[in-house]
Structure 1
Amino acid sequence: MATVPEPANTQRQIWVVYALGRNRVWQRAIQPLPGMSIAQAIDSSGFEAQHPDVDWRSGGVGIFGRRVKPEDMVNPGDRIEIYRALVFDPKESRRRRALHRQRQTIKGKTRGRQRIV
């Protein structure tokens, strides 16, 4: 009986991705070793060599949008996402916008937003 060749190891590889900006993404596919952690996968992808100014530990990492620890193990087919650190606190931003709107209302300078229904 003839054997059918396996497709390229696309199912066994993992991806390390980082969003550089609008419509620009850095990504590398690597072959995971048994027992490889996320930190080891990022190291072997060459991310730190190409982006020495990015501290990926401060922003955190995730797999398919779910935050994980750098010590967690990778599985074949995972997409490791490197997140940027937040520049500002979203909760603080919402509080400041609400305070600004409140002050505008008190001054009588409110221009109601028209909502199209």
Structure 2
Amino acid sequence: MQITLIHSKAPRHVHELGLQVPEGCTAQMALEKAGWLKAYPELGTQALTLGVWGRRVGPEHVLRDGDRLEVYRALRVDPKMARRERFVGQGARGTGLFSRRKAGSKAGY
């Protein structure tokens, strides 16, 4: 069966590999067969976060024909914290729907 492996080592640097694997192959076995655990040592040191078509799966997940196995890198910044910091920097009046209010109008309109 044919699968596709995707890994982005850095922003805008995507590595894609089509791979022929036997029936009943797990995600971990596919990574080993492709040689990515040796080619990208950072994958072996951190806890792997894997996904199939954007849905998170574990290394023991059995792949099906046509699956796209994605290897995710760890987030450098918590998205909620980054949003809070952006909001503090912009101020309450400079964000979202309320940034261009007409004079004398109610909040949110």
TM-score (norm 2): 0.71
Once the two structures are TM-superposed, the CA of residue 72 in structure 1 deviates from its matched residue by 1.0
Bigger Rg, structure 1 or 2: 1
Contact 1:16 1:81 in 2 (8 A): yes
Give the paired residue count.
97
Which runs of 4 or more aligned residues in structure 1 lie more than 4 Å from their structure 2 counterparts after TM superposition? none
Unpaired segments of 5 or more residues in structure 2? 101-109
Q: Show structure 1 runs of 5+ residues with no match.
A: 1-11
Taking only aligned residues, the RMSD between alpha carbons, in angstroms, comes to 2.7
Higher helix share: 2
Out of 27, 31, 55, the position equivalent to 1:38 is 27
* TM-score normalised by structure 1 residue count: 0.67
Give secondary structure in 1 for the equivalent of 2:29: helix
Identical amino acids, percent of aligned pairs = 30
**1-structure distance, mates of 2:86, 2:13:** 30
For residue 67 of structure 1, report the CA deviation from its aligned partner: 1.6
Structure-2 separation of matches of 1:96 and 1:59: 28
Deviations 1:36-63 (A, max 9, x none): 1111111111111111133485351111
